[in-house]
Structure formats: C-alpha cells, structure tokens
Amino acid sequence: MAKVLLINGSPHKNGCTATALEEMIKVFNEEGVETELLHIGKDDIRGCVSCGGCRKAGKCVFEDRVNEAAKIFEQSDGLVVGAPVYYGSPNGTLISFLDRLFQSASYSKHLKVGAAVVSCRRGGNTASFDVLNKYFTISGMPVASSTYWNMVHGFTAEDVKKDLEGLQTMRNLARNMAFMIKAIADAKEKYGVPAVERSFRTSFPDGK
C-alpha cells in the first residue's frame, strides 16, 4: 500500500495548517493511500550545525523527532510539508526540521512525490511555498500540484473551514499526489528507475 508522510510544522495540532492537511488525508483515505501525520511544531528542534556526523552515521547526530521522521520518510512514497507563515517564511521550527531531515537522511529520496502546503492570515504565502518546494526539487522528488495555490488563509481553524477554495485546492492536490504515486509505481515496473549521475560536485575550488 502506498504511504504518504505529512509533517505539520505548526505548534497548533488543530490549527489552520492541520485543517488543510486533514482535508488532504480524507482524500488519501478515499484513494487507498496510507497516511502518517507528525506534528512537530511544539518540539525543541535545533538547526543543522554542519558537523558532517550524518555522513558517517546515516542519521542526524541529534536524537530527536528528525530521526523518527527520517525512518518513516524512508518507507513513504510521498511527503507533504505544511507550514504556517511566520514573518513571510515557513515557521522556523519546520525549517530547522527539514534542513536536518534532508541533510541527514542517507537514503535516496528519488521519485518520492513531494507537496508543500502553507497557511497564513494575510501575506507571505507564496514566498513560503517557494522555500518548501526547493527541498523536493534538489532531491529528485517530483512535485505534486493542484488547481490553484496550495495555501489556506486564516488565523484559526474555523477561518480555514470557511476558505472553501483553499480546501478544494487541498483535495485536488491530494488526488493528484495519489495519482502520481500510483503512476510512478507502475512506471518503475515498466521502465525501471532513471539513472542518477553523481560524479561531479563542483564547488569552484579554483575560485573561478
């Protein structure tokens, strides 16, 4: 059975971001896709310290929910990350979490489907959306899209429940994501997995 991991970056388990993610979960259930939702927004998640320890250990040196999520992500076919917007960016806890998750998880994320969801009261959604999508696109992860912006507006969950277009966008996003996951599984059988070159890592050591 296909599986999607959803990460709620918000400290509010029943807040705006969670309401958007729950709308997606309803569709995943209809589509026969298993889900696991992690609320990480109240955890004390420190940022990456660039120690390089994960290169040896295959996991982050800080034992917290990043390593827990990494194990679930490995078994998942898709990842949804949801963020409340704080000062025009995804909230800091989620950024710290994702930096360490993507940096430390040693397995390939190639062809796992990604989707970003953002929630704000007034502004900063599109900038935050851009930030989150980059985790996927530099990791070989196809990005699922919807009928319009993957975002909801509100200060409370009750506000978001009135954002009918936002919720519709979440349902369409989940349907597209479920389809992509199933289609990629079929395509892997038919065509195999595209080759990945990793010979070059050019950091311009000659200064040019």
- Identify residues 179-208 at the interface with ligand FMN (CB under 6 A): none
Nearer to ligand FMN, 117 or 141 (CB): 117
161 binds ligand FMN (CB under 6 A): no
Q: Is 152 helix (H, G, I), strand (E, B) or coil?
A: strand
The closest of 151, 193, 201 to 172, measured between CA atoms, is 151
| Burial group, residue 196, by CB count within 10 angstroms (0-12, 13-18, 19+) | exposed
166 binds ligand FMN (CB under 6 A): no
Q: Which stretch binds ligand FMN (CB under 6 A): 16-24, 30-38, 93-101, 129-137?
A: 16-24
Q: By CB under 6 A, how many residues form the interface with ligand FMN?
A: 19
Q: Which run of H or E residues covers position 39? A: strand 34-39
Q: Which of 27, 33, 85, 115 binds ligand FMN (CB under 6 A)?
A: 85
Nearest 5°: the CA angle 15, 16, 21 is 100
- Chain centroid to CA 169: 16
Q: How far apart are CB 92 and ligand FMN at their closest, in Å?
A: 9
10 binds ligand FMN (CB under 6 A): yes
Alpha helices in 53-163 (DSSP H): 53-57, 65-74, 92-104, 125-137, 157-162
Q: Which stretch binds ligand FMN (CB under 6 A): 45-53, 81-89, 132-140, 171-179?
A: 81-89
Q: Which of 144, 154, 177, 180 binds ligand FMN (CB under 6 A)?
A: 154
| Cα gap 141→93, rounded to integer Å | 22
Q: Please name the residue that has the structure tokens 């950024």.
A: 95
Q: Which of 155, 161, 171, 182 binds ligand FMN (CB under 6 A)?
A: 155
- Identify residues 104-143 at the interface with ligand FMN (CB under 6 A): 119-124
146 binds ligand FMN (CB under 6 A): no
46 binds ligand FMN (CB under 6 A): no
The closest of 40, 128, 132, 42 to 87, measured between CA atoms, is 128
76 binds ligand FMN (CB under 6 A): no
Residue 80 near residue 40 (C-beta atoms within 8 A): no
Nearer to ligand FMN, 15 or 142 (CB): 15
Query: Interface with ligand FMN by CB under 6 A: which residues?
Result: 10, 12, 15-18, 84-88, 119-124, 154-155
